[in-house]
A and B are shown apart, each in its own frame.
Chain A
Amino acid sequence: MNTIVLTKGVPDFREGQVSFDEDGHLERGETPTVMNPNDEHALEAALQTKVRQGGTVSVMSMGPPGYGDVLREAMESVYADDLYLLSDREMAAADTWATAITIATALEGMDPSPDLVFAGFKTADGETGHTGPQTCWAYGMPIVTHVVSLEIDPDEERLRAKRLVEGDIAEIETVETSLPAFVVADPEFEPSYRRAEHRLRHRDLREETRERAANYEEHMTVWDHTDLNLDPDYIGLDGSPTVVSSVDPIPKAPAEREATMVDPESDEEMRQVFEEMAPLAGGE
C-alpha cells in the first residue's frame, strides 16, 4: 500500500504567535509557519493505513524551501518514509487551481503510483477546501470527503469509509470505492487500533522514525517545475485564474463594555475596585 499525504504550511494563527499590522493585515514575516492544523487528521488516517496495512507513507507539500520544518513535523507524526517538497519561484502565489495542477503532476510522477492520497479538510489560511478535490480531479481518481473512519481491504483493493453527509455529525453514511482513491479526512476522524498487533507496530514505527526525522533532509526530495516538466505559464501566479479584487480587513467587534486595567498588587487600585463594586453589592 503506497500512501501519500498532502500537507501545507500555514501561518500559526494561535494567540501569541500570529502578528497583524495596524490595518489588520497579517504580517507574514513576523508570523511563524506551522503545519495546517486540519492536516493532522489526514496524517492520522494515513498512519492508520500504514500501521494496519503496512507499506510506505510519503508526505508532499508545495511551498518555499523553509517548509522543511513542516515536513519534518509531518514525518514525525505519520512516521513517513520520505518527503516531497514542490518548491520553485515559478510556483509561487498560485491559487487552488494552479496548485492542484502542480500537485497532480507530481503525483503522476510518483513511482510506484499511489494507492491512496490523503488531504486535510481545508487550510487555516485560504479556507477554500478546494485544493484537495481539484487535485483529485486533475489526477483522476475517486474521492471520498468528510471521512471519519476508514477500513481498507487490500486484497479486494477496496476502501470502505464512514463519512459525514453535508459535513454534519448527525448524519453518517458508509461508502465504498475502489483503489486508488483520494480521501479527505474530516476533523472528526478517529483512527482505530483495536488489535494489539496494530498498537505494537505503531510503537515500532515510532521508534524507527525518531532517527529518520532527525535527518529528515536526507529523506526529502525537492522538485521544481523543470523536474515536473511543467510550463511556467500554467502554474504559480501566471497560471492562476483567481483574481483577488480587494481585501477588506475584518472589523474588530465593537467593545460593549469599557475595560480598566487594575494592578492587583496595588492597594490603592484595588480599593477603587471595591469602592466601585460596593454600591452594586448593595443592589443599586
Chain B
Amino acid sequence: MTEREHYEAVVVGAGPGGAAAAAALARNDVETLVLERGVEAGSKNVSGGLLYAEESAPYTMDDLFAGFREAATERPVTDYYLHNLAGDRVETFDITDLHEHDTEWSDAVLRRKMDSWLAERVHELTRETGGGLLTDVRVNGLLREEGEIVGVTCDELDPIEADFVVAADGVNSELARDAGLMDWEEPEEWFQGVKAVVDMPEGAIDDRFGLDGEAGEAHLFSGDLFEGVRGGGFLYTNEDTLSIGTVFHLDSLVAEEAEPHELLDALLTHPLLARWLDDGYEELEYAAKLVPDSKKVAHPSPHEGRLVLVGDAGGQMQAQGPIIKGMNHAVTAGALAGEAFTEARSRNDPDAAGDLYERKLRDEGVMKKLRPPRYRAVRALAEHGPVTGALDAVLESPVGRFGVRALGDRFETLYGSPFLSMMVPDTRTPYVTLPTVIAEELGERIGGENDVTPPDLADRIGDLTYDVDVGNPHIEVVDDSFAVSGDAVTACPVSARDFGGGCYREETVRTNGEERTVVSLDTQPCVECGTCAIVADTDWEHPRGGKGVEFRQG
C-alpha cells in the first residue's frame, strides 16, 4: 500500500470562509489543500446575499483578494429600507444609517459568480504551496487515529492526513457533526431562507429603483403578509437581476405548517412589489438554505483537536433584527483560523491552533457580534411566552396603538439604532405584531395592482440543474411515521401538501387491516438545504462530489 497523502492544512469547502482561510494559510507558506464538493465553487452555495466589509473587522474580502469587488460582486447597497406591511398599508423606514453603522462597504453578491472567482485565486495561491483546490470531492468525515483527529476522509479520494483541518463546509457541515460540535436537533436554532433570482430587462433596475447604473438598494419587508410566521422578506439589486427572498424561524415555519414557496409568493405578489415587478416576471432560479442563528448556535469554542469550524459550519451567522451578516464573519473567521495555525506552527506547537483561533475570535470582537450579551440579557424575559403574549396584546390594544401613533416618526430612529437592534427578541412582536400595528396606524395605502405570476413549485424544480446520483440517495428517512417526520412535507422548500413532484409526500399505507400515515422521500429534487435533517428523523448526508443540485446563480 502506498503512503497516505499529507498536507499541512486541509480546507473543506470553497465558500467565502474556506477561501479566506486558504488565502491566509497560503500567504504564510502553509501547504494547503482545498476540497470543494460542487462541480465548481459556488454551485452548492446560496446566500441572500449581502456581503459586508465591517470597519471593525480585522479582515475583509477585498483585503484578502485584490480586485474582488470589481470582479466578483454585484451592486453596492447605498440605500436600505424597511417596509412595515398591513394589508395594502405600508410604512417605510429608511434604515440606511443602521446599515452603514460599522460598514466600510456592502455589496449584493451572487454566489456562483463570487465563489468561482474566489476559487481561481485560491487555487493559484495554494498551488504555489504544493497544495491547490479541487472540485467534485466530498469530504465525508474526520480521519482519526487513536481517537485523535488526524485528517479527513472523502468519497472520491483516499484518506488524507493534515496538521490542521478547516471545516468551512457550510450550514450542514458533516465535519462539525462528526466532531460532535454541532447537531441538527432544535428548530429554534435555525432559520430557513428561500430566494428567487429574478431576471430584469435591460435598464429596468435603474429605471424602476431610480438608480444610476452603479448604486444599489436593499429592502426588507415585515408585517402581516406571511401568515403570522416569524420572519421577513428581502430584496437586493444585483447588476441585472434581483434577489428576492424570505427568511423565517424554522420552528415558526413548522408550527404554522407554512409552505416556504407560498410565503415567497406572498411577497412577490404583494402590491408594494408592483413598483418593481410586472407581468414580465421571469425567475432564473429558486433556491433555499438553512441559516444558523448565531445568537443560539455560534459555537463559543469552535474547535476540537486539529479541527476548527469556520462560517456557517460554526454557526457564525448573525441575524439580529434587520441586520443579517454571515459571509463577512466567515471571511474574518477563516482568515483568523489561518493566522492561528501559522502562529501555532511557528511556535512548533501546531496543535495549539484551535485554542489560538478561539482566542482570536474573542479578542477581535467576532464572538461578541455573533452572541451579543445584550440579546442574552433581554432574552430570558422577552422570549418568555406570557410576556410576549402580553406585549402583543398591549401593542394591539387601543393603548398600544396610541403609543405607536404618539411615537410616530421616532420609530424610524429607533429602528435605526444599532444598540437596540442587538437586543431585539425572537418573538412574534418585532416580526409580525409591531410592523403590522405600525403599518395600520402610521402607514399609507398603496395603489397599484401586482401582475406577477410566480412559477409553481413544479416549474421551479424543473428549472434547476441536477446531476442525480441514481441509486444512491443521500438522505434516508429513519422514522417514516407522519407523526415524527411529517413536518418535512410542508417545511421542505421543494415539497408541499398534495404535490407529487417534491421530496417529501404524505402517504397512507394499509397493511394487515391497519392504516398508517407515513412520509415517502424522493431525493431527486433536493436542494440540499438540510431542513428535513432538523424537522424529520433522517440520515442526512451531502451527495457525492459533483452530484445533486447545481446552482447557476446562488
Q: Which residues of A contact B (CB under 8 A)?
A: 194-197, 199-200, 203-204
Give the complex CA separation of A199 and B5 in angstroms: 13
Q: Which stretch, B107-115, B127-135, B463-471, touches the partner chain A?
A: B127-135
With an 8 A cutoff between CB atoms, is B160 at the interface? yes
Give the complex CA separation of A197 and B157 in angstroms: 10
With an 8 A cutoff between CB atoms, is B184 at the interface? no
On whether the beta carbons of B158 and A203 are closer than 8 Å, the reply is: no
Interface size class of B (residues with CB under 8 A): 10 to 19
With an 8 A cutoff between CB atoms, is B105 at the interface? no
On whether the beta carbons of B127 and A195 are closer than 8 Å, the reply is: no
Cβ–Cβ < 8 Å partners of B160 in chain A: 196
On whether the beta carbons of A203 and B132 are closer than 8 Å, the reply is: yes
On whether the beta carbons of B157 and A200 are closer than 8 Å, the reply is: no
Contact check: which of A195, A200, A204 meets B158 at CB < 8 Å? A195
Report the nearest B residue to A200, measured CB to CB. Answer: B132
Can you list 14 A-B contacts (CB < 8 A)?
A194-B157, A194-B158, A195-B5, A195-B157, A196-B33, A196-B35, A196-B131, A196-B134, A197-B5, A200-B131, A200-B132, A203-B132, A203-B134, A204-B127
Cβ–Cβ < 8 Å partners of B375 in chain A: none
With an 8 A cutoff between CB atoms, is B7 at the interface? yes
CB-contacts of B125-180 with A (<8 A): 127, 131-132, 134, 137, 156-158, 160
Cβ–Cβ < 8 Å partners of A194 in chain B: 156-158
Give the complex CA separation of A211 and B134 in angstroms: 22
Min distance, Cβ A40 to any Cβ of chain B, angstroms: 20
CB-contacts of B32-67 with A (<8 A): 33, 35
Give the complex CA separation of A192 and B468 in angstroms: 21
On whether the beta carbons of A200 and B127 are closer than 8 Å, the reply is: yes
On whether the beta carbons of B157 and A196 are closer than 8 Å, the reply is: yes
Min distance, Cβ A124 to any Cβ of chain B, angstroms: 28
Cβ–Cβ < 8 Å partners of B33 in chain A: 196
Give the complex CA separation of A200 and B31 in angstroms: 13
Please give me the 7 A-B residue pairs with the lowest Cβ-Cβ distance, nearest first: A200-B132, A194-B158, A199-B134, A195-B5, A196-B33, A194-B157, A196-B157
Min distance, Cβ B31 to any Cβ of chain A, angstroms: 11
Min distance, Cβ A66 to any Cβ of chain B, angstroms: 35
Give the complex CA separation of A204 and B131 in angstroms: 12
Cβ–Cβ < 8 Å partners of B35 in chain A: 196
Cβ–Cβ < 8 Å partners of A196 in chain B: 5, 7, 33, 35, 131-132, 134, 137, 157, 160
Report the nearest A residue to B132, measured CB to CB. Answer: A200
Cβ–Cβ < 8 Å partners of B158 in chain A: 194-195
Give the complex CA separation of A195 and B35 in angstroms: 12
Report the nearest A residue to B159, measured CB to CB. Answer: A194
Min distance, Cβ B299 to any Cβ of chain A, angstroms: 28
Report the nearest B residue to A201, measured CB to CB. Answer: B132
Give the complex CA separation of A195 and B7 in angstroms: 12
Give the complex CA separation of A197 and B160 in angstroms: 11
CB-contacts of B223-271 with A (<8 A): none
Cβ–Cβ < 8 Å partners of B156 in chain A: 194
Report the nearest A residue to B33, measured CB to CB. Answer: A196
Min distance, Cβ B125 to any Cβ of chain A, angstroms: 13
Give the complex CA separation of A264 and B156 in angstroms: 48
Cβ–Cβ < 8 Å partners of B131 in chain A: 196, 200
Give the complex CA separation of A199 and B33 in angstroms: 11
Give the complex CA separation of A194 and B127 in angstroms: 18
Assuming A194-B157, A196-B35, what are 5 further A-B pairs, CB within 8 angstroms? Answer: A195-B157, A196-B5, A196-B132, A196-B160, A200-B127
On whether the beta carbons of A200 and B134 are closer than 8 Å, the reply is: yes
Give the complex CA separation of A204 and B160 in angstroms: 20
Min distance, Cβ A98 to any Cβ of chain B, angstroms: 44
Min distance, Cβ B456 to any Cβ of chain A, angstroms: 25
Report the nearest B residue to A204, measured CB to CB. Answer: B127
Cβ–Cβ < 8 Å partners of B127 in chain A: 200, 204
Question: Contact string, B1-45, partner A, CB cutoff 8 A, digits 1/0?
Answer: 000010100000000000000000000000001010000000000
Give the complex CA separation of A200 and B123 in angstroms: 10
Give the complex CA separation of A199 and B158 in angstroms: 12
Give the complex CA separation of A203 and B133 in angstroms: 9
Cβ–Cβ < 8 Å partners of A200 in chain B: 127, 131-132, 134
CB-contacts of B399-440 with A (<8 A): none
Give the complex CA separation of A262 and B124 in angstroms: 57
Give the complex CA separation of A234 and B33 in angstroms: 56
